[in-house]
Amino acid sequence: MQLVPVIAIDGPSASGKGTVAQRVAEALGFHYLDSGALYRLTALAAVRRGVSWDDEAGVAGVAATLDARFDGDRIVLDERDASSAIRSEDIGVGASRVAALPAVRAALLQRQRGYARMPGLVADGRDMGSVVFPEAQLKVFLTASAAVRAERRYKQLAGRGEQADLAAITADLEARDARDRARTVAPLAQQPDARLLDTDGLGVEAAVEQVLAWWRERG
Q: What pLDDT, on a 0 to 100 scale, did the predictor assign at position 87?
A: 87
Residue 9, strand partner residues: 124, 140
- Determine the Cα–Cα distance for residues 48 and 187; give it in Å rounded to an integer: 28
The answer to whether the CB of 108 falls within 8 A of the CB of 17 is no
Residues written for the chain: 219
Per-residue pLDDT reduced to its tens digit, 157-174: 888 788 888 998 899 888
Considering only 67-71, 169-173, 192-196, which range has the smallest mean pLDDT?
Answer: 67-71
Q: What is the mean pLDDT of the chain?
A: 90
Structurally, at CATH architecture level, domain 6-212 sits in 3-Layer(aba) Sandwich (3.40)
Q: What pLDDT, on a 0 to 100 scale, did the predictor assign at position 2?
A: 64
* pLDDT above 70 (res 1): no
Question: What are φ and ψ of residue 33, in 5° steps?
Answer: -120, 120
Higher pLDDT, 175 or 109: 109
* pLDDT above 90 (res 207): yes
Q: What pLDDT, on a 0 to 100 scale, did the predictor assign at position 6?
A: 97
Sign of the alpha-carbon dihedral angle for 159, 162, 166, 172: negative
- Determine the Cα–Cα distance for residues 98 and 152; give it in Å rounded to an integer: 24
pLDDT over 70 percentage in the chain: 99
Per-residue pLDDT reduced to its tens digit, 80-104: 999 999 988 899 889 989 988 999 9
Query: Of 88, 71, 205, 216, whose CA–CA distance to 153 is shortest?
Result: 88
The answer to whether the CB of 129 falls within 8 A of the CB of 149 is no
